[in-house]
Amino acid sequence: MVGLVVVAHGDLAASLLESAALIAGEPERAAAVGFGMEEGPDALREKVLAEVERLGGEVLFLVDLPGGTPSNVCARIALERNLRVVSGVNLPMLVELLLVEEGETLDGAAKVALEAGRDGVLDVTDMIRDQGGG
């Protein structure tokens, strides 16, 4: 299985991973890395690299905002190590990835993340109206 490293501002990464575990079960190859206000990019890089080394193999980074420090740090690491980064991490994306089959490739996992992330963003009020419930 591809390793997942969720990297986001504040406690978002840990909260997302904890919430996903409630739905999909405890992840075997996943880590959460938070970026605090007191930290700089170098400190974040060290934390992220420690998780990459711990997980070993292929790693997909899931980050919160494109162009933010977590995204930029992970993109540099991804380019150095031939890994992948997907921004806009959300709970549907993370749950889907935790349920992915064992043999999924890194590119395949990135595709799953993009599709599940997009598919999970809906106007629920419109859905209810369309179903005749509103």
Q: Which strands make up the sheet holding 3-9, listed edge to edge? A: 30-35, 3-9, 59-63, 84-87
Catalytic residue among 2, 5, 7, 9: 9
CA distances from 27 to 14, 31, 32, 114 (A): 12, 9, 11, 19
Q: Give dist(CA 38, CA 11) in Å, integer.
A: 13
User: Residue 130 catalytic?
Assistant: no
Beta bridge partners of 60: 4, 84
Q: Which single residue is written with the structure tokens 């490739």?
A: 105
DSSP assignment letter at 86: E
- Which residue numbers are catalytic? 9
